[in-house]
Amino acid sequence: MARYEAGIRTEARIVDATRSLLAEGGLEAATLAAICDRADVKAGSFYNLFDSKEAVVLRVVREAIDAVDPDPEQAGTDTTQDLVDAYIRFFEEQPELARVYVLTALQVEGANGARRRFLRHHERRVERFADAMRRGDSTLSTDEATVQAELLLGALDGLAFRWSLDKAFAFADYARRAAKALS
């Protein structure tokens, strides 16, 4: 189990290669061959460190999402506005990664359970939004806040999708407007 330095550095190179490939050309560009090529590693070495290609992709996506979290400590200090801004930032800074994220969720459920993961992540996010909404409006019931959070997140997801079709779409403006109308 004790890791060697070499292995740790190789793992980092693989993750970096995957991240840059995904950012440049999405899932289509991040083939195993491309990842290994860019990381300067043979496939066998890759599989010594990761269980599958999906594993490293999931890791990169997760890290990117965590990186824009406005309240990583979960201290309960983020406002709805913060959360919406974080959402917008993720999509604007990592459009290809966002596409990967959605794409994997739409794939048929495989052994890795990407769809289930995605759903769990969404549910946690709904809770965060609902909590922030209640903090901003103390008359809101928990149920009602959850419903509103689902609505707002639904709208944000849809607008982000719209933007991925056409980068001329004023995503951030629409997103903020949706936030105003739905909370």
Our CA dihedral for 108, 109, 112, 116, rounded to 10 degrees, sits at: 120
Report if residue 20 touches DNA, rule: CB under 7 A.
Answer: no
Tell me the C-alpha distance between 9 and 37, whole Å: 16
From residue 120, alpha-carbon distances to 38, 135, 148 in Å are 32, 23, 18
Among the listed residues 122, 125, 135, 176, the single contact to a copy of itself using CB under 8 A: 122
Report if residue 107 touches DNA, rule: CB under 7 A.
Answer: no
**Binding region for a copy of itself (CB under 8 A) out of 22-30, 31-39, 63-71, 85-93:** 22-30
Report if residue 62 touches a copy of itself, rule: CB under 8 A.
Answer: no
Tell me the C-alpha distance between 183 and 178, whole Å: 8
Report if residue 158 touches a copy of itself, rule: CB under 8 A.
Answer: yes
Instruction: Report which of 146, 151, 175 is spatially closest to residue 81, judged by C-alpha positions.
Output: 175
Which amino acid type is present at position 58?
L
Q: How many CB atoms lie within 10 A of CB 47?
A: 13
Report if residue 108 touches DNA, rule: CB under 7 A.
Answer: no
The residue to which tokens 């560009």 are assigned: 29
- Give me the least distance between CB of 118 and DNA, in Å please: 19
Our CB check for a copy of itself shows the closer of 7 and 25 to be: 25
The residue to which tokens 């996506």 are assigned: 61
Q: How many positions of this chain bind DNA (CB under 7 A)?
A: 27
Report if residue 119 touches a copy of itself, rule: CB under 8 A.
Answer: yes
Which amino acid type is present at position 34?
A
Tell me how far the alpha carbon of residue 70 is from its chain's centroid.
14
- Give me the least distance between CB of 17 and a copy of itself, in Å please: 20
Report if residue 95 touches a copy of itself, rule: CB under 8 A.
Answer: no
Among the listed residues 159, 167, 172, 176, the single contact to a copy of itself using CB under 8 A: 159
Report if residue 99 touches a copy of itself, rule: CB under 8 A.
Answer: yes
Contacted by 157, from DNA, a copy of itself, none: CB < 5 to 8 Å by type: a copy of itself
Q: Which residues bind DNA (CB under 7 A)?
A: 1-10, 28, 31-33, 40-49, 52-54
